[in-house]
Chains A and B, each alone.
Chain A
């Protein structure tokens, strides 16, 4: 496949086409993904999550610039799951990364909701695999922290960075239990503002309370992303975490686990698509639904029947 070869040679047009094909689950893409898989595993995948406006894009821009000085190839997936379900979205993360547009060693892609449940995390999954196989050393996944969606997306990452900012209202607002558990690294950004120290101390306390037994203690870094302050230290920590993952064997464990979830997710998604299609084609579904609604039969019987029929 020509596109695949071009993509692996670093042609961004080809990489971009492949990601689009994969997103829309085109036939060509599934073939490409099968071929690409053998080349994956080399990239360090870093998730960056936090509330809207906390400085994730600004921070990513600065981190990536630092890595570019070391000649690392970097890809960024800017994910916005907050767009409404009209299918439409405005994706504005590139605004903070304009300087990176012309850098040959950087690829940036914005992803929005695909209108379907699970559509976005699947798109992120495919895009990550493609970029990984195209020899990017680092893949950053930026996503707004708004609940389940970011947790799902973050599962794709080796290292997860949680960004917080002072002054978002009731101190610990954002420090939801779930967020503490997913963070490998915490950043108090906008530390040029009042309350940064307090936030950092409170966060430390929460982390201490929450501490799970692990050789890795999630560090807290203070940054002023807009002025590049504290960014070198963050890059250092990102690398340290990867070394930890490798040396402790945790990387293998995480990636093995991830593979399992990915496969189960894909099976579920394929099955859902398959069954929905089959049912709407056969047309009996509406009728059956009516029968359940009229209490002529019950949902559980129908579900079993549907399952048996589609697995024939």
Chain B
């Protein structure tokens, strides 16, 4: 408990209307002792970046079920950099084809968690990558 409290923004960009996945992640992170700020459905990258800055989170966790990750994920990273917040760790989760992962990593997404990845993996990754 003496260690630093990790704050994570869990955001759901894009237009699909399901946030079950995001909520499961949020709960797992909370149970691991993190403070999770949940922002709800259908957030634009601009809204996500603004919220991440105001909340001064260590991590932004993006969750997306359908499609537009190649556009939306890097956009969040870029906006954070513009706001002088490039040090915030950005990770992504959801239905993301293996073929897209290298591109996302090249564009600043630290790690991608595809369905089936145990949440403990994500927790481990976050804990070891937040300085």
The answer to whether A and B belong to the same complex is: yes
- The smallest beta-carbon distance between B104 and chain A, in angstroms, is 24
- The smallest beta-carbon distance between B131 and chain A, in angstroms, is 14
On chain A, the residues within 8 Å of B113 by CB distance are none
On chain B, the residues within 8 Å of A89 by CB distance are 30, 35-36
Query: Known contacts A17-B56, A86-B31: does B50 contact A102 (CB below 8 Å)?
Result: yes
On chain A, the residues within 8 Å of B51 by CB distance are 94, 101, 108
On chain B, the residues within 8 Å of A17 by CB distance are 56
Check if A166 is an interface residue, CB within 8 A of chain B: no
Check if A107 is an interface residue, CB within 8 A of chain B: yes
On chain A, the residues within 8 Å of B53 by CB distance are 12-13, 16
Assess the A12–B54 pair: CB atoms within 8 A: yes
Check if A92 is an interface residue, CB within 8 A of chain B: yes
- The smallest beta-carbon distance between A84 and chain B, in angstroms, is 9
Assess the B5–A90 pair: CB atoms within 8 A: no
Within 8 A of B (CB), among A77-101: 83, 86-92, 94-95, 98, 101
Query: Known contacts A92-B38, A98-B47: does B55 contact A86 (CB below 8 Å)?
Result: no
On chain B, the residues within 8 Å of A87 by CB distance are 1, 5, 33, 35
Smallest CB gap from A94: residue in B: B39
Q: How far is the CA of A12 from the CA of B83 in the complex (A)?
A: 9
Check if A115 is an interface residue, CB within 8 A of chain B: yes
- Give the dominant DSSP class at A's interface: mixed
Check if A114 is an interface residue, CB within 8 A of chain B: yes
Query: Most chain-A Cβ atoms within 10 A of its Cβ — which of B46, B56, B85?
Result: B56
Query: Known contacts A95-B38, A102-B47, A110-B37: does B54 contact A88 (CB below 8 Å)?
Result: no
Query: Known contacts A24-B4, A87-B1, A102-B50: does B55 contact A110 (CB below 8 Å)?
Result: yes
Chain B residues with a Cβ closer than 8 Å to the other chain, count: 29
Q: How large is the interface on A (under 10, 10 to 19, 20 to 34, 35 or more residues)?
A: 20 to 34
Smallest CB gap from B56: residue in A: A16
Assess the B56–A19 pair: CB atoms within 8 A: yes
Smallest CB gap from B11: residue in A: A94
Q: How far is the CA of A37 from the CA of B26 in the complex (A)?
A: 36
Query: Known contacts A88-B29, A91-B38: does B54 contact A16 (CB below 8 Å)?
Result: yes
Q: How far is the CA of A27 from the CA of B1 in the complex (A)?
A: 20
On chain B, the residues within 8 Å of A12 by CB distance are 53-54
On chain B, the residues within 8 Å of A109 by CB distance are 54-56
- The smallest beta-carbon distance between A216 and chain B, in angstroms, is 34
Query: Most chain-A Cβ atoms within 10 A of its Cβ — which of B4, B36, B37?
Result: B37
Q: How far is the CA of A17 from the CA of B7 in the complex (A)?
A: 13
Contact mask for chain A residues 1-41; partner B; CB cutoff 8 A; 1 contact, 0 none: 00000000000110011011000100000000000000000
Q: What are 23 inter-chain pairs, A to B, with CB distance below 8 A?
A: A13-B84, A16-B55, A19-B56, A20-B56, A86-B31, A87-B1, A87-B5, A88-B33, A88-B34, A88-B36, A89-B36, A90-B26, A91-B35, A91-B38, A92-B40, A94-B40, A95-B38, A95-B39, A95-B40, A98-B39, A98-B47, A101-B50, A110-B37
Q: Please give the residue numbers on chain B whose beta carbons come within 8 Å of chain A beta carbons, in ascending order.
A: 1, 4-5, 26-27, 29-40, 43, 46-47, 50-51, 53-56, 83-85
